[in-house]
Amino acid sequence: MNMMDGATQASMSAACLAGARKRYGRVEALAGFDLALIRGEVLALLGANGAGKSTAIGLMLGLIAPDAGQVELFGLAPQSLAARRRIGVMLQSAALPDTSTVGELLEATRAYYSAPLSITECESLAGLQGLSKRRYGKLSGGQQRRVQFALAICGDPQLLFLDEPTTGLDIEARQQIWLAIKQLRARGVAVLLTTHYLEEAEALADRVVVIDRGRSIAEGSVDVIRAKVSGQRIRCRSRLDIAVVLGWPGVVQATREGEYLVLRVDDAVRALPPLLAADPALSDLEISRAGLADAFLAITRESNEELRA
């Protein structure tokens, strides 16, 4: 039972899209999309390329107007200055002056806010120590991404939009950003995260919304979404034909990742004997429980099958 009254719910709301529609010519980018983000929560918005994620973010940032539906940040219009001062944004690409140093960029951005984070806090959260005198244009792609993250958080936002924040980062830099996101969440910051790295959603998200063709097709905690897919995942190096393997009882899904065969099966103990018998050269066998990536594939496939039916 939800114990929060209407006023408490409104004061907890960081962002809300209700029945949002947006059409570009023949493409319906959002087809009645709902999303509610509360304070202190990390919500991962997952969807294939073209599903409508950037359009949803564009509406919440007030960059584009919906054809229909409501968009609010903290109960305010997204274009209002009061709402904009409370958000931080890291989009997929950023145009920053190449000749400015990291320190100058941070100073200039902090100056927009009345109570920004200290330079030291920004540098330590984003892993930028030692880079403040370096020119932005001379940084590596990963370092530039970290600067963009620092600029997104430097105003001490209550709501942070992170559109594929760790694309192109190495493992250490990715973990640094993950740690920063966890620290910000612990301070009550709401985070809307889009990512194509499902392990990122798995590591960070309190809640996941799966969007497909402009509609929300699944919503819940990582565990709830993962539970939509039962069974186990088998990964092994094998040349077996996926069409053949798919015909075996208990094999729900079969895909190829280079030399590897990846199966989702009802029960690995039953699936293994025919697999080993069919390919004596099989190697590098791994068995794990089905993860968010499997759930995501299954949910979007089901949704596509329903649309075709």
Ligand X SMILES: Nc1ncnc2c1ncn2[C@@H]1O[C@H](COP(=O)(O)OP(=O)(O)OP(=O)(O)O)[C@@H](O)[C@H]1O
- Kindly state the tokens that stand for 168: 């192109």
* CB of 27 vs ligand X, minimal distance in Å: 5
Nearer to ligand X, 24 or 260 (CB): 24
* CB of 240 vs ligand X, minimal distance in Å: 32
Q: Report the C-alpha gap between 37 and 2 in whole angstroms.
A: 16
* CB of 155 vs ligand X, minimal distance in Å: 24
* CB of 20 vs ligand X, minimal distance in Å: 11
Nearest residue to 13 via CA among 92, 78, 62, 79: 78
Nearer to ligand X, 94 or 272 (CB): 94
Establish how many alpha carbons lie within 13 A of residue 73's alpha carbon, considering only the half-sphere containing its beta carbon: 27
Q: Does 195 bind ligand X (CB under 6 A)?
A: no
Give the DSSP per-residue string, 110-151: HTTSSSPPPHHHHHHHHT-TT-TTSBGGGS-HHHHHHHHHHH
- Kindly state the tokens that stand for 43: 């919500």
Q: Report the C-alpha gap between 2 and 158 in whole angstroms.
A: 23
Fill in the per-residue mask, 28 to 67: x = in contact with ligand X (CB under 6 A), - = not in contact.
-x-----------------x-xxxxxxx------------
Q: Report the C-alpha gap between 84 and 102 in whole angstroms.
A: 23
Q: Which residues pair with 212 in a beta bridge?
A: 215
Contacting residue, 4, 9, 10, 24, with ligand X by CB under 6 A: 24
Nearer to ligand X, 49 or 114 (CB): 49
Nearer to ligand X, 29 or 105 (CB): 29
Nearest residue to 293 via CA among 203, 173, 186, 158: 203
| Contacts (CB under 6 A) with ligand X, residues 67-96 | none
Nearer to ligand X, 214 or 231 (CB): 214
Q: Report the C-alpha gap between 222 and 92 in whole angstroms.
A: 24
Q: Report the C-alpha gap between 16 and 170 in whole angstroms.
A: 33
* CB of 208 vs ligand X, minimal distance in Å: 15
Q: Report the C-alpha gap between 23 and 197 in whole angstroms.
A: 27
* CB of 175 vs ligand X, minimal distance in Å: 23
Q: Which residues pair with 235 in a beta bridge?
A: 262, 286
Nearer to ligand X, 275 or 293 (CB): 293
* CB of 30 vs ligand X, minimal distance in Å: 8
Nearer to ligand X, 55 or 109 (CB): 55
Which residues of this chain interact with ligand X, rule CB under 6 A? 24, 27, 29, 47, 49-55
